[in-house]
Amino acid sequence: MARPQPPLRSLSKVSPGPPRASRYWDPPPLENDMLSIPSHIFWPGFIIAILGICMGSGMSIILASASDGGPRIVPDYYERAVAWDESVAIDEASRELGWTVALSINDERAEVAVRDAMGQPLTLSGSASFRLASDVEPRATVPLIARADGQPGHYILEGAPLEPGVWDVTLHLQGGETTYERTHRVERSP
């Protein structure tokens, strides 16, 4: 028995068949209508964008570092360098005393409370130098004044700057033959 033959189709309805091999590879068509950037524009633009980001961040760092007036020359830097060993010895001697120093700055006043290693309040004389962390020279040097209520070991720093900022407060305290000299950092928020 002979097999039935399929009906002939017209040429207009013939399927195109498998894709023909071309000399150059054609990318598959995009499934959506997104625009594509040609690679000869995208990659050089990408490199230029990265270089621009690096240059922009570098310039912002330079501007930020110079925004507070830039580097400053420390006055008497040579004398301070020569006296470095002595200043380190004073700092270590002050630490070995074991004194507890509580420094507070609020809207009304600056106050310091000093106790010895046993927790007893100390009767002292001395001064405090206030310097913003970004400054080279102190803004003010004020004396220690005993509180009016007579509370032992508590002193008011009359005339201390009370503005917001990060302050380095160097305390120069004298109690009889004992000397205490240390720098404390205090941050005062606005």
> Residue 184's pLDDT is what?
82
> Residue 44's pLDDT is what?
94
* pLDDT tier for residue 28 given thresholds of 50, 70 and 90: low
Q: Residue 179 burial by CB count (10 A; 0-12/13-18/19+): exposed, middle or buried?
A: middle
Of 164, 181, 171, 28, the C-alpha closest to 107 is 164
> Residue 122's pLDDT is what?
82
Task: State phi, psi for 13 to the nearest 5 degrees.
Answer: -105, 10
Average pLDDT (165-178) is 83
Number of residues that this document lists for the chain: 190
For residues 73 and 176, what is the distance between their CA atoms, to the nearest angstrom? 36
Identify which has the larger pLDDT, 68 or 88: 88
Identify which has the larger pLDDT, 50 or 139: 50
For residues 21 and 177, what is the distance between their CA atoms, to the nearest angstrom? 101
Instruction: Provide the 10 A C-beta neighbour count for residue 154.
Output: 16
> Residue 131's pLDDT is what?
83
For residues 39 and 30, what is the distance between their CA atoms, to the nearest angstrom? 16
Tens digit of each residue's pLDDT (9 = 90 or more) over 149-161 = 878 888 888 888 8
Predicted model pTM: 0.56
Share of the chain above pLDDT 70, in %: 81
Q: Where are the beta strands (DSSP E) in the chain?
A: 100-105, 110-115, 125-132, 140-146, 154-157, 165-175, 178-188
Domains for the chain: give ranges and CATH numbers. Answer: 85-188 (2.60.40)
Asked if 167 and 76 touch (Cβ cutoff 8 Å), the reply is no
pLDDT greater than 80 at residue 18: no
pLDDT greater than 70 at residue 128: yes
Average pLDDT (82-106) is 86
Tens digit of each residue's pLDDT (9 = 90 or more) over 45-64 = 999 999 999 999 999 998 88
* pLDDT tier for residue 146 given thresholds of 50, 70 and 90: confident
Pairing of strands 125-132, 165-175: antiparallel
Q: Which residues contact 163 (CB under 8 A, 6 or more apart)?
A: 188
Q: In what order do the strands lie in the sheet with 125-132?
A: 100-105, 110-115, 154-157, 140-146, 125-132, 165-175, 178-188
* pLDDT tier for residue 130 given thresholds of 50, 70 and 90: confident
